[in-house]
Amino acid sequence: MLRRLLSNDLPRSKVLAVLLIAVLLGLAFAPFVFPGVKALNVAAKILVFIVLVASFDLLLGYTGIVSFAHTMFFGIGAYGIAIAATRMGAGWDAVAVGLACSLAVSLVLALAIGLFSLRVRAIFFAMITLAVASAFQTLASQLSEFTGGEDGLSFRLPEIISPSFEFSEEPFLGVSLDGRLLCYYLLFVVAVVLVLALLRIVNSPFGRVLQAIRENEFRAEAIGYRVVVYRTLSAVLSALFATLAGAMLALWLRYNGPDTSLSFEIMIDVLLIVVIGGMGTVYGAAIGAVLFVVAQSYLQDLLRLGNEAVSGLPWLAALLSPDRWLLWLGLLFVLSVYYFPTGIVGKLRARSSAR
Amino acid sequence: MSLKMDVDWKPLLLVPALALLALPLVGSPSTWLTLTVAGLAMGMIVFIIASGLTLVFGLMDVLNFGHGVFIALGAFVATSVLGVMGDWTQSQSILANLAAVLPAMVVAMLVAGAVGLAFERFIVRPVYGQHLKQILITMGGMIIGEELIKVIWGPAQIPLPLPEGLRGSWLWGDAAVEKYRVLAVVVGALVFGLLAWTLARTKIGLLIRAGVQDREMVESLGYRIRVLFVGIFVAGSALAGLGGVMWGLYQQNVIPQMGAQVNVLIFIVIIIGGLGSTTGALIGALLVGLMANYTGFVAPKVALFSNIALMVAILLWRPQGVYPVAGSR
């Protein structure tokens, strides 16, 4: 049963299995174990990032092509919900329409970019996605009557998942049973289903072909697989999952703007999580996302402390300023690509198979 | 740079074709002339930056996503150098102005080249031959570089005013042609001439062209192509620094993110030109520069996607770029 649910892709390492179970349980009971608004926000962000990163890994880790437009699809999903909810009001029909439209837009865009650039060279894909994503970002902030411009859109969602909706007067285990909680569990269920679906995809014969292409494109083509078709399909699938992750984000925040879902920093975060967690493993996305999002919430505090500690030395203080934390992320990123290319999951699996 | 016998003329005609096509759309000939000179100037600056990148790719199959950092670095170094030489930039004499701009360019090129040497050694060399890691690592290098620039010069936009004598424009009939743009075209043409001469007439150029065509063959003849490659990388970084100075003066201000912004343009240029081809990069850069200026005037909303549309159109015609380079994968 479990084996079937995980599509035969077991953790293959005791430590990893324990970690994964801890993550699952931690997220499942987050509202009860870690009380407070900030903790719940962190947990919800982790859920969104697990889906986002796992979908990116389908492209980077399994197919071996780099896309810099992943946040574009993430943003399309978030904007889909946001625009539909702003125009049509708070109702499930708005959510459904927004989701359907954004999925359609992502599908068309990903198909066009994929067919266009992957036809020639996989390397073009990285460059073209970068160009398209930056154009899209500018477009989103310029079409302000539609997207709210730089300010973004705040919108209302169905009553049942908004914080003001109370299921019962009595708090259960010290947690008030409101729409916020329901929304969290909605995200949780969606995230679990999507991750299992991704596991199913990468462990299917289709997923094996993707890995074959990653290892040796020429040989895969020689065996008779149309490399372009498989790569494009992978790009499209990954874009669709990213769109769903974006929709999850919009449902949780009830707000969307260019900085929340389209910024290049999110793209860098996603790259870093994939590399740290382990490229080519869906589990890596889960572990990496938890580590990263938690670290993100506290690393900046740590830098602030360091900054204050060395305030006598202006140079060091400038380096340790909380505004410069991207610098440290970048360093971490380069170092992990060098010395840690298989990531946490790869290390753990290698250790347990060596034993 | 191909053999003199069979020059492929069609791509060369694209630039005048685009310019002529734009004439009826723009309407007035004087505006058209102003836009065309602006486009050529922008194209030349973009070419200076892109030439190094396309050679680096052609020779070693290294795709450097961190190229943009040298652009920003050059521009920021120029703000410091020109800031020191306030007397000469304020002077009315063009000679004194040039005497201020020239050292700024030289220092920017030296700094960018030196950083390029370190970048090659620590960022690029460990990942030769691994495309995926190259893209990731050089992107990481780009982020680190941009953040370091913010640490040194601060995150805010810094004005980079043109020296007095280079401001203003010449009037040719009704058309106003900015002086600096003419200077940019001249510098760009000089760089292209020098590059073309080096590639076509010198031993090093011969080796570079041969290396782009078939690296292993050149190596097996006993030439150390890695040394050559380091030289190209450093020269390419220095050129990016020079281009950064010119871009900064063109925009009259610099921001740390400018590298990433220009990077997008440059990728479009080298894809249009064919990865590894300098002539292709020149044509791509001129097309992009002209296109950006024409659409910016005719339909500003479309301007965002005009370059992407241009690239799409070119790739539909020649999927490997206007001058496909044999041998590079």
Predicted confidence (pLDDT) per residue in A237-253, tens digit: 999 999 999 999 999 99
Rounded to an integer, the average pLDDT of A101-116 is: 93
Check A126 against B320: CB less than 8 A apart: no
Confidence class for position A174, pLDDT limits 50, 70, 90: low
Instruction: Summarize pLDDT for B62-111 with one digit per residue, the tens.
Output: 888 899 999 999 999 999 988 887 767 777 777 777 788 888 899 999 99
Position B21 in a domain: no
pTM of the model: 0.87
CA A226/CA A219 separation, integer angstroms: 11
Q: Which chain A residues have a beta carbon less than 8 Å from that of B260?
A: 264
CA A79/CA A95 separation, integer angstroms: 11
Position B82 in a domain: yes
Rounded to an integer, the average pLDDT of A180-193 is: 92
Is residue B3 scored above 70 in pLDDT?
Answer: no
DSSP helix/strand/coil, A255: strand
Asked if the C-beta of B25 comes within 8 angstroms of chain A's C-beta atoms, the answer is: no
Within 104-133 of B, beta carbons closer than 8 Å to A belong to: 123, 126-127, 131-133
Chain B nearest-CA distance from A130, in A, is: 7
Least confident of A1-15, A278-292, B147-161: A1-15
User: Which pLDDT score, from 0 to 100, does residue B172 have?
Assistant: 75
Is residue B123 scored above 70 in pLDDT?
Answer: yes
User: Which pLDDT score, from 0 to 100, does residue A191 have?
Assistant: 95
User: Which pLDDT score, from 0 to 100, does residue A83 have?
Assistant: 92
Q: Which residues in B124-150 are b (16+ Cβ under 10 Å) and which e? A: beebeeebbbbbbbbbbbbbbbbbbbb
Is residue A54 scored above 90 in pLDDT?
Answer: yes
Q: What is the tally of structural domains in chain B?
A: 1
Least confident of A56-65, B231-240, B297-306: B297-306
User: Which pLDDT score, from 0 to 100, does residue A146 have?
Assistant: 81
Name which residue leads in pLDDT, A194 or A316: A194
Query: How far are the Cα atoms of A25, A67, A109 from residue A129, in angstroms, in the given order?
Result: 37, 6, 10
Q: Where are the domains of chain A?
A: 2-354
User: Which pLDDT score, from 0 to 100, does residue A100 have?
Assistant: 95
Is residue B327 scored above 60 in pLDDT?
Answer: no
Asked if the C-beta of A104 comes within 8 angstroms of chain B's C-beta atoms, the answer is: no
Q: Which of A122, A130, A326 sits opposite B143 (nearest CB)?
A: A326
Q: Which chain B residues have a beta carbon less than 8 Å from that of A130?
A: 65, 263-264, 267
User: Which pLDDT score, from 0 to 100, does residue A206 have?
Assistant: 94
Asked if the C-beta of B303 comes within 8 angstroms of chain A's C-beta atoms, the answer is: no
Chain A nearest-CA distance from B9, in A, is: 23
DSSP helix/strand/coil, A178: strand
Among chain A residues, the shortest Cα distance to B257 is held by A264
Asked if the C-beta of A341 comes within 8 angstroms of chain B's C-beta atoms, the answer is: yes
Is B239:B145 a contact under the CB 8 Å cutoff?
no
Is residue A283 scored above 70 in pLDDT?
Answer: yes
φ/ψ of A201, rounded to 5, equals -65, -50
Position B68 in a domain: yes
Residue A22: CB partners within 8 Å, gap ≥ 6?
none
User: Which pLDDT score, from 0 to 100, does residue A123 have?
Assistant: 78
CA B50/CA B262 separation, integer angstroms: 10
Asked if the C-beta of A60 comes within 8 angstroms of chain B's C-beta atoms, the answer is: yes
Within 250-279 of A, beta carbons closer than 8 Å to B belong to: 264, 268, 271, 275
Check A131 against B304: CB less than 8 A apart: no
Rounded to an integer, the average pLDDT of B294-322 is: 84
Instruction: Summarize pLDDT for A267-276 with one digit per residue, the tens.
Output: 988 998 998 8
Of B315, B228, B306, nearest in space to B280 by CA: B315
Per-residue tokens: A23: 């993550």
The residue range of the domain holding B178 is 27-195+232-317
CA A138/CA A171 separation, integer angstroms: 45
Across all residues in chain B, what is the average pLDDT?
A: 86
Asked if the C-beta of B320 comes within 8 angstroms of chain A's C-beta atoms, the answer is: yes
pLDDT winner (highest mean) among A23-32, A114-123, A279-288, B111-120: B111-120
Is residue A134 scored above 60 in pLDDT?
Answer: yes
Is residue A352 scored above 60 in pLDDT?
Answer: yes
Check B267 against A319: CB less than 8 A apart: no
Query: What percent of chain A has pLDDT above 90?
Result: 37
Position B1 in a domain: no
Q: Which chain A residues have a beta carbon less than 8 Å from that of B143?
A: 268, 326-327, 329-330, 333
Is residue B240 scored above 70 in pLDDT?
Answer: yes
Query: How far are the Cα atoms of A49, A116, A155, B291 from residue A109, in angstroms, in the given order?
Result: 22, 10, 26, 23
CATH of A2-354, picked from 1.10.3470, 3.40.50, 3.30.450, 1.10.1060, is: 1.10.3470
Which of B133, B136, B295 is the best residue to mutate to test the A interface, defined by the most A CB atoms within 10 Å of its own CB? Answer: B136
User: Which pLDDT score, from 0 to 100, does residue B59 have?
Assistant: 74
Distance of CA A71 to the CA centre of its chain: 9
User: Which pLDDT score, from 0 to 100, does residue A84 have?
Assistant: 92
User: Which pLDDT score, from 0 to 100, does residue B199 have?
Assistant: 87
Rounded to an integer, the average pLDDT of A200-205 is: 92
State the DSSP H helix or E strand holding residue B169, giving kind and residue range, or none if neither: strand B169-172
Instruction: Summarize pLDDT for B129-153 with one digit per residue, the tens.
Output: 788 888 889 989 998 999 999 989 9
Rounded to an integer, the average pLDDT of A117-140 is: 84
Among chain A residues, the shortest Cα distance to B62 is held by A123
DSSP of B32-63, one letter per residue?
HHHHHHHHHHHHHHHHHHHHHHHHHHHHH---
Confidence class for position B328, pLDDT limits 50, 70, 90: very low
User: What's the 3-state SS for B207-257?
Assistant: HHHHHHHCHHHHHHCCCCHHHHHHHHHHHHHHHHHHHHHHHHHHHCEECCC
Across all residues in chain A, what is the average pLDDT?
A: 87
Name which residue leads in pLDDT, A218 or A33: A218
